[in-house]
Amino acid sequence: MTGQPEAQARESLAGRVALITGAGVGIGRATALAMARAGATIGVHYHTSEGAARDTAETIRAMGRTAHVLPGDLSLEADASRVVDQLVAAAGRLDVLFNNAGSPIRMTPIADCPTELWRRVFDVNVTSAFFVTRRAIPHLKATGKGAIINNLTLSIQTCGSGGGGVYAAAKGALQVMTRTLAKELAPQVRVNGIMPGVIATAHHETFSTPAKMAEYVKATPLARNGVAEEVADVVLFLASDASRFMTGALLDVNGGRFLR
């Protein structure tokens, strides 16, 4: 039987460097802290949440770990490249990429969606991940044990209910990109995706009413909504050697919703 110390060793990220996009708040922050506790040096990216990102970095440093704060609009190719380049220059390598940043921006039925909003949602949720990933691939390959984790969404399964169809379409594109990259980058880099359910973060404070959140609880077999730390634990697993024979996987983290 496998002992606990051996299992913990497989989830260790000691000596590794992880870039987490949108690391100031929510799932990004929780994952940054989880990976830091596992021993990783963390690239804390942010676009608009500077104060939150700096707080995340200070919390990591208080653990005795290293954190680099990296601002940038990842929908701009130059910014995305700079974020990757700055982290590699500072830390010397890149082992893990968590493409977490994304947003619906605004809820609207597809029939009413302005062209500019459609393009912006795809830029924020797909093009940004493409720019960062493309720049990171040579560094991830160089380690021989690189890992990419893409943050997808429950909206893919709900078909973007409540006006989230554009967001769901963009995340659907990222889902296909995830599985394509898993084939293209094996065996040097593993690529997996997570599909969080309803997680109590600022995202739902913006896009879901308290009544809707209560409805979600009733529709979830585990009878509650999730918290960011529970998603972070799954991302840590996918980043670590504990998932070393997994690539191209899409893991639901949703309390059992959509069981059939």
Q: CATH no. for residue 65? A: 3.40.50.720
Instruction: List the chain pLDDT tens, one digit each, 260 residues.
Output: 456 666 567 789 999 999 999 999 999 999 999 999 999 999 999 999 999 999 999 999 999 999 999 999 999 999 999 999 999 999 999 999 999 999 999 999 999 999 999 999 999 999 999 999 999 999 999 999 999 999 998 777 777 777 889 999 999 999 999 999 999 999 999 999 999 988 887 665 555 677 777 887 888 889 888 899 999 999 999 999 999 999 999 999 999 887 75
Q: What is the DSSP letter of 111?
A: G
Cβ neighbourhood burial of 30 (10 Å; 0-12, 13-18, 19+): buried
Cα distances (angstroms) measured from residue 182 to each of 137, 188, 229, 235 = 12, 10, 25, 16
Does a structural domain hold residue 257? no
**Is the residue at 67 inside a domain?**
yes
Let me know if residue 62 belongs to a domain: yes
33: in domain:
yes
Domain that residue 57 falls in: 4-199+228-252
Is residue 253 classed as helix, strand or coil in its secondary structure? Answer: strand
Q: Is residue 217 part of a domain?
A: no
Number of domain units in the chain? 1
Q: Taking the model in full, what pTM does it have?
A: 0.92
Does 110 fall in a domain? yes
Q: Measured in whole angstroms, how far is the alpha carbon of residue 245 from the centre of its chain?
A: 20
Question: Which are the catalytic amino acids?
Answer: 167
**Residue 206 resides in a domain:** no
